[in-house]
Amino acid sequence: MKYTEEHEWLQQDGETVTVGITKHAAEALGDLVFVELPEPGTKVAKDDEIVVIESVKAASDILAPLDGEITEVNQAIVENPTLVNEDPLGDAWFFKMKPDNMSALDELLDEAAYNALID
């Protein structure tokens, strides 16, 4: 698993990368009440604002962690945003994407570096 400084996690599975937010981010946001995901087939560039989330505390955007194409979204979290608070590292993934350059994952944080960031 890789992490961004913006509190996203990425898990590679072959040619695809699954993206979600970390437990730390979910706890900081509080109870989510709204999630808006991009459409599959959307081409994104790193740092594009592609997901909108709202919690009881604030609204926030999730940035594209890599250049690529969105291949799938998790409709379950749109229908029930509280799933993100319940299982941020599992069933509450946000989207899957096919990166333009898989080696870009190497530039992201590993678990030890991410834990150092949030400490």
Specify the pLDDT at position 99. 98
Please check the confidence at residue 58 and state whether its pLDDT lies above 90.
no
* Arithmetic mean of pLDDT, 65-94: 96
* Arithmetic mean of pLDDT, 19-37: 94
Specify the pLDDT at position 57. 85
- How far apart (Å, rounded) are the C-alpha atoms in residues 84 and 24? 11
Which domains, ranges and CATH numbers included, belong to the chain?
Answer: 2-102 (2.40.50.100)
Q: Strands of 49-55's sheet, edge to edge?
A: 32-36, 49-55, 59-63
Q: What percent of the chain has pLDDT over 70?
A: 100
CB 118 within 8 A of CB 11: no
Please check the confidence at residue 83 and state whether its pLDDT lies above 90.
yes
User: Predicted confidence band at 37 (pLDDT cuts at 50, 70, 90)?
Assistant: very high
